[in-house]
């Protein structure tokens, strides 16, 4: 860990020196913009840490069996909707959703439910929507999430028909 931090610090120093050499005339503006960017980085890091903390707690308290047993109660279109909502709330990297999907598949869940769960797990995050609102604006974030929900339903139905 110490080597990683040392390496990152050295990279930042080298980048800073290169930028300084390339922009000697406007160094004050450059310094001001770097300070502003660093402050924004710290603000966003705090938000991201809170989101990762919430996701970690959800994944630790809800075992794959609990989530899967909940989802196995639903079939058809209802299964797609509940798979979509559960995946959006759980949220995380797709690799951590695979064990739940495997458990669902082994216990007789439909391909539609599994695909809607995995797609919403990766593409929609109710936990991180506050960052989307701040960075992209409410209109864009809501439009993206609503369209994604609709397309997940369409893709899940197609997956069910094709497989």
Packing angle, helices 27-61 and 76-90, rounded to 10: 130
Nearest Cα neighbor of 111 from 149, 150, 66, 155 is 155
pLDDT digits (tens, 9 = 90+) for 18-33: 777 766 667 777 778 7
Nearest Cα neighbor of 122 from 96, 104, 100 is 96
The mean pLDDT value of the chain amounts to: 81
pLDDT digits (tens, 9 = 90+) for 112-148: 988 998 999 888 877 778 888 888 899 999 999 999 9
pLDDT(66) > 80: no
Please report the sign of the dihedral spanned by the C-alpha atoms of residue 59, residue 49, residue 124, residue 96.
Answer: negative
Please report the sign of the dihedral spanned by the C-alpha atoms of residue 18, residue 23, residue 25, residue 31.
Answer: negative
Kindly state the percentage of the chain with pLDDT values over 70. 87
Model-level pTM?
Answer: 0.64
pLDDT reported for residue 64: 65
**What are the b/e assignments for 8-39, b being 16+ CB within 10 Å?**
eeeeeeeeeeeeeeeeeeeeeebeeeeeeeee
pLDDT(59) > 70: no
């Amino acid at each position: 860990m110490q080597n990683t931090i040392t390496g990152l610090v050295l990279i930042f120093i080298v980048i800073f020196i290169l930028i300084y050499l390339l922009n000697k005339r406007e160094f004050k503006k450059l310094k001001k913009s770097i300070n502003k960017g660093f402050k924004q980085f710290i603000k966003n890091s705090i938000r991201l840490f809170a989101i990762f903390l919430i996701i970690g707690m959800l994944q630790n308290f809800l075992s794959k069996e609990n989530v899967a047993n909940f989802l196995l109660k639903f079939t058809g279109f209802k299964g797609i909707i509940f798979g979509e909502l559960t995946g959006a709330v759980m949220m995380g990297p797709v690799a951590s959703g695979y064990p739940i999907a495997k458990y669902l598949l082994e216990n007789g869940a439909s391909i539609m439910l599994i695909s809607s769960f995995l797609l919403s797990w990766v593409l929609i995050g109710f936990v991180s929507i506050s960052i989307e609102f701040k960075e992209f604006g409410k209109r864009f974030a809501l439009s993206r999430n609503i369209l994604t929900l609709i397309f997940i339903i369409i893709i899940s139905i197609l997956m069910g028909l094709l497989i």
